[in-house]
Amino acid sequence: MTANPVVRTRAGAVRGLVIDGVHVFRGVPYAQPPVGALRQRPPRPAEPWDGVREATSFGPTAPQPDFGMPEELSGFYPTVVGDDYLNLNVFSPDLGRAGLPVMVWVHGGGFDGGSSILYDGRRFARDGVVFVSVNYRLGVEGFLALGDGIANLGLLDQVAALEWVRDNIAAFGGDPDNVTVFGESAGAMCTATLLAMPAARGLFRRVALQSGAGNLVQSLDTARHVAGLLADELGIGPTRQEFAQVPVERLFAAQQRVERRLAERPDPRRWCGEPGARVHLVQPTVDGDVLPSTTLDAVRAGVAADVDVLLGSNAEEGRLSLVPFGALDAIGDDDVETAMRSYGLPVERAWSVYRATHPDAGPGDVLALLQRDWYYRAPAHRLAEAVVRRGRSAYLYDFAWRSPQFGGALGACHFLEVPFVFDLLDMPLFSAITGDAPPQALADAMHTAWVAFATHGDPGWPRYDLSTRPVQRFDSESRVVEDPAPEERRLWEDLDIARGS
């Protein structure tokens, strides 16, 4: 019987488990609990401890609202109650080796939900990667910005976790100079945003962005406006000290009430200058200090020019937010036109483009395609172009495999690529979105590509360029396609020209 492994970190020794030959350490603190005097403050390194700390169970997860998910998807937000939630998990193939590539996962969840628990890293470890998954502050606790010199605490938590990786990962067999940060949805948005953060400089070598390119950010003026709405809802002054005195349950309930009102009556002051900046009450803030600029502007200016990028989106992203909630068939033309206007699109031309490229699509289908293009696909292409223009490698993908779930209506929706990238098709929870017989060959292809990218920077398909625009399309039969959506691309390029961006 294999003894439980013990590894010494800079803060103290941790004891993990061996599962299927993989060394697993759960709930390892990388920063002090952000409560009491440390609530609403930047993270501080974990306090040292004596003896050996047990790291055999998942640690606490960040406080978050109750999202009222449909029953089929209710298991996707597992939580553990506790204050010491600035923690991470490590999956290592071999503690006796050195120089293994490292992959650090930042979970999604709309900036106000999710945790690291869902993401089993054993398949990455099986294939020679030291895998790390991170918890970070969410919602108002992680993204409140008041103009008081403190902002983007959730992003600073991620930087603190990467500093922990730099200082400790060699003890788990990893190479601190070969770190790839990757994430999905809000996790990808955060990961991309790290490219523009001075505090994150030099902490990673590559990023892989799944359905997020750092485009969901807000100005400091917008952040202050949001804080004022929240303070009014809570009956407090808009100061960090007063926010820090509000119980988190009450804080998140107020956040949800204000967010619902904004969704019903969109506020023109909540415009971030980026098509697809949706009505999220909290998201990263371009505060001029922690985050000096948007990711796109930073990359165009040559920031993070030593970082390779893999990025992409799913062919029918928006269906996840419509189909499980029974909303797809309830969408009408007026709803689609409202969405087009919110994205700044010329309605008549947008209709003509989507009707020409998807002649059988109903209004709900078109809305799902709009969400795909303006939240995810257009920003990914813009960022890839910026990376290439600065002389660095970008690899673009499109996930097109259609799920059979919900009578086939779920399609190639948001998040569906995650169990394929992680090679977790046999995890029962994921069958809620993949069905009972997803193609293992597709998981083999995607997982192998992500491991190859993390190992040596090449996932196995051509680099993106501005002439042929190659994109790896992952499907039952995967292949490289050139410039796969020229009409939609010309639409967003024309809008960029019109806006002077």
Contact between 180 and 454 under an 8 Å Cβ cutoff? The reply is yes
293 is catalytic: no
Size (the chain), residues: 501
C-alpha 110/C-alpha 36 separation (Å) is 26
Q: Which of 141, 259, 317, 385 is catalytic?
A: 317
C-alpha 443/C-alpha 416 separation (Å) is 11
Q: Which of 92, 185, 211, 313 is catalytic?
A: 185
C-alpha 488/C-alpha 219 separation (Å) is 27
Q: Residue 331 is encoded by which pair of tokens?
A: 């969408």
Distance of CA 71 to the CA centre of its chain: 23
C-alpha 220/C-alpha 225 separation (Å) is 9
133 is catalytic: no
Integer angstrom CA distances of residue 157 from 32, 142, 347, 448, 452:
10, 9, 41, 29, 27
414 is catalytic: yes
* Coil vs helix vs strand at 413: coil
Q: Which of 107, 381, 414, 447 is catalytic?
A: 414
Contact between 61 and 116 under an 8 Å Cβ cutoff? The reply is yes
Pairing outcome for strands 17-19 and 22-29: antiparallel
Q: Residue 248 is encoded by which pair of tokens?
A: 């988190």
Backbone angles phi, psi at 372, to 5 degrees: -55, -50
Q: Classify the phi-psi angles of 347: left when phi > 0, otherwise alpha if psi is within -120 to 50, otherwise beta.
A: alpha
C-alpha 83/C-alpha 113 separation (Å) is 16
User: Degrees (nearest 5) of the Cα angle 287, 301, 282?
Assistant: 30
Q: Residue 77 is encoded by which pair of tokens?
A: 């937000």
Q: Which residues are catalytic?
A: 185, 317, 414
